[in-house]
Amino acid sequence: MTAPGGVAIAGAAESDLGQVAPGLTPTDLMAQASLRALEDCGLTTADVDGLYAASTQLPWAALNLGEALGISPRTGDSTMVGGGSPIVHLAHARAAIARGDCDVALIAYGSTQRSVGRASASVQEVSPWEAPYRPLLPISAYALAASRHMHEFGTTPEQLAAVAVAAREWAQDRPNAWTAGKGPLTVDEVLAAPRVCDPLGVKDCCLLTDGGGALVVTSAERARTLRRPPVHLLGAGDATTHRHLSSMPSLTRTAADQSGARAFSQARLTPADVTCVQLYDAFTITPILFLEDLGFCAKGDGGPFVASGAIAPGGALPMNTNGGGLSYQHPGMYGLLLLVEAVRQIREGGHDVVLAHGNGGVFSAQATALLGSDAAAS
């Protein structure tokens, strides 16, 4: 049976995506996704008493969301650790529900990064230790990690390209993917794309879109009485190691090894129990490192693993089954959308245990959640 204090995702939805209508704000997209998520599970704003939100454009995102929806919550927060924030919010909501601080929590995110441009959507924080080198951030930092991984383990550009190829293949079945209608991608096309910061080219980098999403979280018991099958939070963990790349302990090992270990320990599961993963893929190097650090392959084996076809349709470990940030959507931060896709895979994809992993900064903050069906939670 589900452990006491167990919670489940009862509703999940996305806002409008891609390039949204002129005049819409990040708050509008959070509210839009929130209302859709509430409709998904049959609840209303009157049922919500916990609010959790983060956005690069809204320092007090949870307050903006409450104002837009007319909700004065009993608890909530705007914790901001980049793309993993929604997974951290999921763990915080679980704790609040267990304490009795709220009964129904709403977790939301919204961004208009494509409409307003990156410079207007994100705070450009400069490290005095890095600024003299004029890095093109964040791409230069991820390129440095990719270069180091290639040096240490022999990872090849072709293996990096395999991540983008698999993402595009998954996106072919999603009509609302930004790359819909563009057809499949080949390794040669990824390698031939204009270079941005060696070894990363245009096709190694995530999309730039608008959009958002929302989750409705409540106790497992209550979730079972609502409109859709509950998706249980089996385990969650997060960890941070640095803020700027120049302070990263290792360019080839991330704190995902810590966040993942904590999530697996809580859930009493191992990587062998996971049949589908949703991994933050702002660049092709990121899921390679996460597959290694989360225990799906040995350190250094991420390149051969993705090149084997394991993560593509028909592979042993389906990854980013909507196309991910590389081929589906990437509205500033991708963490909420990968959670929505994890929910979809449990509800509709036949998976009992799905791992969702978010990344913030330049491998700075990592957050892992294990989500499961009723069968996995029993």
Quick one: 257 and 230 in the same domain?
A: no
The Cβ of residue 168 has, within 10 Å, a number of other Cβ atoms equal to 25
Quick one: 158 and 46 in the same domain?
A: no
Quick one: 228 and 264 in the same domain?
A: no
Catalytic one of 52, 109, 142, 280: 280
Quick one: 69 and 153 in the same domain?
A: no
- CA angle, 302 then 303 then 309, to 5°: 95
At 117 the pLDDT is: 85
Quick one: 102 and 158 in the same domain?
A: no
Whether 330 is in a domain gets the answer yes
CATH number, domain at 81?
3.40.47.10
Quick one: 84 and 12 in the same domain?
A: yes
Whether 127 is in a domain gets the answer no
- For residue 299, give both structure tokens: 């350190």
Catalytic one of 109, 142, 328, 334: 328
Whether 248 is in a domain gets the answer yes
Structurally, the chain folds into a number of domains equal to: 2
Whether 247 is in a domain gets the answer yes
Which range of residues forms the domain containing residue 53? 7-120+209-234
Quick one: 28 and 64 in the same domain?
A: yes
Quick one: 369 and 220 in the same domain?
A: no
Quick one: 172 and 285 in the same domain?
A: yes
Alpha-carbon torsion, ordered 315, 175, 167, 255, to 10 deg: -100
Taking only the tens place, the pLDDT of each residue in 242-278 is 999 999 999 999 999 999 999 999 999 999 999 999 9
Q: Looking at 218, 234, 250, which one is the last position of a domain?
A: 234
Whether 269 is in a domain gets the answer yes
**pLDDT tens track of the chain, all 378 residues?**
344 469 999 999 999 999 999 999 999 999 999 999 999 999 999 999 999 999 999 999 999 999 999 999 999 999 999 999 999 999 999 999 999 999 999 999 999 999 998 777 777 777 899 999 898 889 999 999 999 999 999 999 999 999 999 999 999 999 999 999 999 999 999 999 999 999 999 999 999 999 999 999 999 999 999 999 999 999 999 999 999 999 999 999 999 999 999 999 999 999 999 999 999 999 999 999 999 999 999 999 999 999 999 999 999 999 999 999 999 999 999 999 999 999 999 999 999 999 999 999 999 999 999 999 999 998
Whether 321 is in a domain gets the answer yes
Query: Where do we find the tokens 């410079």?
Result: 119
How many angstroms separate the CA atoms of 373 and 234, rounded? 9
Quick one: 340 and 324 in the same domain?
A: yes
How many angstroms separate the CA atoms of 127 and 170, rounded? 37
Q: How far is CA 378 from CA 40, 230, 262, 347, 373, in A?
A: 24, 12, 20, 16, 9
Q: How far is CA 13 from CA 35, 95, 102, 267, 315, in A?
A: 9, 23, 21, 25, 27
User: 92 with 79: CB under 8 angstroms?
Assistant: yes
| Single pTM value for the model | 0.96
User: 341 with 327: CB under 8 angstroms?
Assistant: no
Quick one: 75 and 179 in the same domain?
A: no
Q: Where are the alpha helices (DSSP H) in 137-218?
A: 139-153, 157-171, 187-192
Whether 224 is in a domain gets the answer yes
* 280 catalytically annotated: yes
Whether 200 is in a domain gets the answer yes
Quick one: 300 and 314 in the same domain?
A: yes
